[in-house]
Amino acid sequence: MANQAHGNGSEQDRARETAVEAALGKLDLDTKARLLGGQDMWSLPEIPEIGLKSLVMSDGPIGVRGVRWTADDPSIALPSPTALAATWDPALARRAGALLAQEARRKGVHVLLAPTVNLHRSPLGGRHFEAYSEDPYLTGAIGTGYVQGVQSGGVGTTVKHFVANDAETDRFTVNNIVSARALRELYLAPFEAIVENAHPWGIMTAYNQVNGVTMTEHRYLVNEVLRGEWGFDGFNVSDWMAARSTVGDIKGGLDVAMPGPQTVYGPALAAAVRAGEVEESEVDDAVRNVLRLAARVGILEGAEPVVTEVPGEIDGESLAREIARRAFVLVRNSGVLPLRPDAKVALIGAAARDARVLGGGSATVFPSRIVSPLDGLSAAFSSLTYAVGADPSDELLPADKGFELRAVCRDADGTILGEGSLPNGQVQWLGDDLPAGVTHEALHSIEVTGTFTPRESGDHAFGTRGLGAFTLTVDGTVLYDGVQPMGDEADPFEAFFGAPLERGRVTLTEGQPIEVSLRHVLDTSLEMPLPAIMFTFTHLGPRRAEDELIAEAVEAARDAEVAVVVVATTERVESEGFDRTDLQLPGRQDDLVRAVAAANPNTVVVVNSGSPVELPWRDDVAAVLLSWFPGQEGGDALADVLTGAEEPGGRLPTTWGSFAAAPVTGVTPDDGQLAYAEGVFIGYRAWDRSGSTPSYPFGHGLGYTDWAYESLDVTGTTATVRVRNTGARPGRETVQLYLSPSESDAARPARWLAGFASVEAAPGELVEVSVELPRRAFEIWDETTNSWSHQPGSYELTAGRSLADARVSETLVA
Ligand code: BGC
């Protein structure tokens, strides 16, 4: 058990501070400066003289990848952060965090680079799936549970990305112009709540600027607000490659510049002190923060870690499944769900077979197994057929299903230096993450080689992604032998993550293995910020005519009692590094749903996306279930809720609506600036103001039983709600409380979430729950006095099933 997960000023804290000061006192300037810069992609240098081990960090947030980007070292993959927020359950987020601490310890990781608590300002945000909600209170509550959980296992967190990193376009440079009021009431609010309630040991400062100052150098927001006003005493690490100025960063409160070995700290920082540009005491402040973290996680000799006894073992697969089903949001149900296990089911959709379980970018982890909807439903239903229906991706993807690949590394003479196993066709070796026996100095070429056993007969396309010389050989035929030069992008990372190129097609037979090889000769002339080997062997299976696929699915649906269609976004739609351009489902998926629904009235659509997509056919189908990116156990969780073994427990953490009606969408800077001109009106606050009705409101989500709200009483700031399960089966309800000023004030949102709680009840049972309304619910940020201002007056408090489904209300005077 944790003996003390957080809290300041305890005897143990004081003992740790003493150890930190003693260690600091023994360090010379050069060593201190060196400690503040990464030694590689993920860690800080060890300093044996003071008994300090190397501090290791890793992404985050749905799993712990570890220091290697490979399936050799698998991780539990939990559902996407949007899914975790959809549970509206901080206690479950805490359990997720505790599991991740267990994963981190298993992998030798001391600090998890998570949670992401930026807000869903625009639905176009590319990392929307990786953040929790459009509401700061819900975000803060889920983030608090998560941080408490991770730290209860003795592992640190970095709450990120501080602050206003709400979109990806030009993320390294964009200057977000945000009013003080919107910053305080929206974007800073989750960070503040987490600092207050979970006492995080770390924070990550963002790439972007806020009001003209880049966040790694934002002295006011970091030193004055975060550390000064809120009392944050953790360490502040830059987002990867965000630190750009030695003097600006150290004075702006940045403790650690990542990654290394080339950073703006280290020798450059020591030199700045010697040149009189930086006080040594400023370096000491940063070192103190790093040593305090090291003490907390137990890698500073002589300091007792915060957690001395490792908590009991948690079953990751079962928790992943539980979170997934608790997160699924049933937004529509004509009564078709739940299904009988002996119902004749036609399962349709590319993502039903090749499930999209997680979002792309730094949040990627490699689970040891993935339960697809096809796997999960095949086990749960006695009669099931499968049809692809529509394949949303017509791009070549990293060679995966059917491929058995390894990477053979050779020197310039062709001598084998070593071999690495590969989870798929993607090679991504950063820093010293190389196969055993291989060094950057000796490495000349890498051959991705092995076999491919096609799942379908027909024309298979093969290709490459990346820069440099490639020789691609499939089944004895050289499909390509040439050099891919750097294009206009000028950024080698962009080139790696860019579009794959088709290099040729080969006609193959289902089930018959063939030999494949992609040889890549490194281009040493490319300037990279750190040693990096990144290229991909790509593949695309036979493409059948789209109309033919849809017709086949319609046929399957017609023959079945129920059609379950899984629609999805792709990695080219939702990932890190870019924003979306619209909210449509890619490919012919909308046509597919319409055709299937016309053929079978019992059509259930499962939406496998991390963030909102338009569902233009939503009123023409029998049920719509949002599954988010459901994590590695998603298919079994889907079977749980479709069969009714479990209720779908999620409520929307973000409004779902069409792009045309969405009130705040802009993510593209104008002349380098992105104005948050809507002020405090984002999400449902903006939908309320615009007067338009979204497809599904904030907080919406159905279960399998019914609820009556019998009363709401307010005493002081405590609201007590009584709800009765009026249905026929046990259930769980998320009681939501919204506050609105009785007299409308154009400067304030019409209403906002002021509290929530989950209750469970048996059929007929009445349960009572009390919710404490937070002080902040009655305050606004006053820009003239630069302080919080209590807003007295009369308020209407409503309790209900969603923002749009208020059941009981009460007037109160604040
Ligand atoms: C992301 C961070 C992540 C870091 C390390 C960055 O690109 O913005 O969220 O923690 O990379 O992978």
Among protein residues, the one with the nearest Cα to ligand 1's atom 8 is 239
Residue 8, pLDDT score: 53
Point out the catalytic residue in the list 40, 239, 255, 590: 239
Q: Give the separation between CA 127 and CA 361, rounded to whole angstroms.
A: 9
| CA 57 to ligand 1 center in whole angstroms | 11
Ligand 1 mutation pick, 113, 118, 215, 497, max ligand atoms within 8 A of CB: 113
Residue 3: pLDDT above 70? no
* Structure confidence by residue, pLDDT tens digits, 150-171: 999 999 999 999 999 999 999 9
- Mutation choice for ligand 1 from 57, 58, 59, CB with most ligand atoms inside 8 A: 59
Ligand 1: nearest atom to the Cα of 207:
8
Amino acid (1-letter code) at residue 537: F
> In b/e form, how buried is each residue of 161-175, taking b as 16+ CB within 10 angstroms?
bbbbbbbbbbbeebb
C-alpha to C-alpha distances, 809 to 4, 460, 615, 689, 734, nearest whole angstrom = 40, 61, 32, 21, 16
Please determine, for residue 492, whether its predicted confidence score (pLDDT) is greater than 70: no
CATH code matching the domain that covers 11-297, chosen among 3.30.450.20, 3.20.20.300, 1.10.645.10, 3.40.50.720: 3.20.20.300
Q: Which CATH class is domain 397-540?
A: mainly beta
pLDDT digits (tens, 9 = 90+) for 169-189: 999 999 999 999 999 999 999
pLDDT value for 529:
62
3-state secondary structure of 813: strand
- The tally of CA atoms less than 13 A away on the side-chain side of residue 598 is 11
484 lines ligand 1 (CB under 6 A): no
Map residue 221 onto helix, strand or coil.
Answer: helix
HSE-CB for 515 with a 13 A CA cutoff: 7
Q: What is the mean pLDDT of the chain?
A: 95
Look at the block and give the residue holding tokens 């891919």. 484
Q: In whole angstroms, what is the distance from residue 641 CA to residue 648 CA?
A: 6
The confidence score (pLDDT) of residue 1 equals: 35
* Among candidate residues 96, 57, 38, 360, the one with its CA nearest the CA of residue 203: 57
Residue 160 CB less than 6 A away from ligand 1: yes
Kindly state the helix (H) or strand (E) to which residue 496 belongs, with its residue range: helix 492-497
Estimate the share of the chain in helix, then strand, then coil, as percent rounded to the nearest 5.
25, 25, 45
Look at residue 528 in the predicted model and tell me its pLDDT: 67
Q: What are phi and psi of 703, to 5 degrees?
A: -115, -155
Nearest CA to ligand 1 atom 9: 362
Indicate whether 7 pLDDT > 80.
Answer: no
240 within ligand 1 shell (Cβ under 6 A): yes
Nearest CA owner, ligand 1 atom 6: 240
Which residues, in sequence order, are bridge partners of residue 57? Answer: 111
239 CA to centre of ligand 1 in angstroms: 6
Q: Taking the C-alpha atoms of 502, 549, 545 and 426 in order, what is their torsion angle to the nearest 10 degrees?
A: 0
Q: What is the mean pLDDT of residues 239-247?
A: 96
Q: Place 4 in a pLDDT band, splitting at 50, 70 and 90.
A: very low
Q: What are phi and psi of 549, to 5 degrees?
A: -65, -45
pTM: 0.95
User: Is residue 490 over pLDDT 60?
Assistant: no
Q: What percent of the chain has pLDDT over 90?
A: 88
With a 6 A CB cut-off, is 162 part of the ligand 1 pocket? no
pLDDT value at 530 more than 80: no
How far does residue 60's CA lie from ligand 1's centre (Å)? 9
CA distance 329 to 608: 11
Are 11-297 and 705-813 equal in CATH topology? no
The tens digit of pLDDT for each residue in 696-737 reads 999 999 999 999 999 999 999 999 999 999 999 999 999 999
User: In terms of C-beta density within 10 A (0-12 exposed, 13-18 middle, 19 or more buried), how is residue 315 classed?
Assistant: exposed
Instruction: Give the model's pLDDT for residue 485.
Output: 79
pLDDT tens across 757-813, in order?
999 999 999 999 999 999 999 999 999 999 999 999 999 999 999 999 999 999 999
Average pLDDT over residues 333-347: 97
57: Cβ below 6 Å to ligand 1?
A: no
Atom 3, ligand 1: residue with shortest CA distance: 362
Higher pLDDT, 641 or 4: 641
Q: How far is the CA of 494 from the centre of ligand 1 (A)?
A: 15
Please say whether the beta carbons of 464 and 472 come within 8 A: yes
Mean of pLDDT values over 669-691: 97
β-pairing verdict for 603-608 and 477-484: unpaired
* Residue 362 CA, closest ligand 1 atom number: 12
pLDDT tens, residue by residue, 115-154: 999 999 999 999 999 999 999 999 999 999 999 999 999 9
Q: Which CATH architecture group holds 705-813?
A: Sandwich (2.60)
2 pLDDT more than 70: no
> Is the CB of residue 130 below 6 angstroms from any atom belonging to ligand 1?
no
Distance from the alpha carbon of residue 137 to the mean position of ligand 1, in angstroms: 24
Query: pLDDT tier at 527 (50, 70, 90 boundaries)?
Result: low
Does any ligand 1 atom lie closer than 6 A to the CB of residue 362?
Answer: yes
CA angle 618, 620, 626 (to 5 degrees): 30
Q: Which two tokens stand for residue 789?
A: 């201002």
Q: Which atom of ligand 1 is nearest to the CA of 577?
A: 7
Write the DSSP string, 78-102. PPPHHHHHHTT-HHHHHHHHHHHHH
By CB neighbour count within 10 A (0-12 exposed, 13-18 middle, 19+ buried), where does 245 fall?
A: middle
Q: Tell me: the pLDDT tens digits for 470-481?
A: 999 999 999 999
Would you state the pLDDT for residue 484? 85
Extents of the domains making up the chain:
11-297, 318-394+545-661, 397-540, 705-813
Report the distance separating Cα 240 and Cα 60, nearest Å: 13
Query: For ligand 1, is residue 583 a contact (CB within 6 Å)?
Result: no
Sign of CA dihedral 680, 682, 684, 690: positive
Let me know the angle formed at the C-alpha of 621 by 616 and 626, rounded to the nearest 5 degrees: 75
**Domain covering 318-394+545-661: architecture:** 3-Layer(aba) Sandwich (3.40)
Give the per-residue pLDDT at 164.
98
Distance 808 CA to ligand 1 centre (A): 44
Measured in angstroms, how far is the CA atom of residue 206 from the centroid of ligand 1?
A: 9
CB of 233 closer than 6 angstroms to any ligand 1 atom: no
Start-to-end C-alpha separation, the chain: 41
Contact present, 346 and 556 (Cβ < 8 Å) = yes
Residue 136 CA to ligand 1 center (angstroms) comes to: 22
Q: Tokens 């967190």 — which residue? A: 157
Tell me the percentage of the chain whose pLDDT exceeds 70. Answer: 97
Cα–Cα distance measured from residue 479 to residue 656, given in angstroms and rounded to the nearest whole number: 45
Rounded to an integer, the average pLDDT of 228-253 is: 97
**Residue 542 carries which DSSP code?**
P
Q: How far apart are CA 783 and CA 179, in angstroms?
A: 9
Ligand 1 contact, 113 CB (< 6 A): yes
**Is it the case that residue 564 has pLDDT exceeding 90?**
yes
Active site residue 706: no
pLDDT at residue 360, rounded to an integer: 84
* pLDDT beyond 90 at 6: no
Which range among 534-543, 748-757, 769-778 shows the weakest confidence by mean pLDDT? 534-543
Using 50, 70 and 90 to split pLDDT, how confident is the model at 423?
confident
pLDDT recorded at residue 71: 74
Is there an atom of ligand 1 within 6 Å of 5 CB?
no
Cβ 127 under 6 angstroms from ligand 1: no
**240 Cα: distance to centroid of ligand 1 (angstroms):** 6
- Quick check: 679 and 112 in contact, CB under 8 A? no
Ligand 1, from 207, 239, 575: best to mutate by most atoms within 8 Å of Cβ?
239
Pocket probe mutation, ligand 1, options 240, 530, 579, max atoms within 8 Å of Cβ: 240
Ligand 1 atom nearest the C-alpha of 130 is: 9
Q: Is 375 in the pocket of ligand 1 (CB under 6 A)?
A: no
Distance, CA 10 to ligand 1 centroid (Å)?
Answer: 33
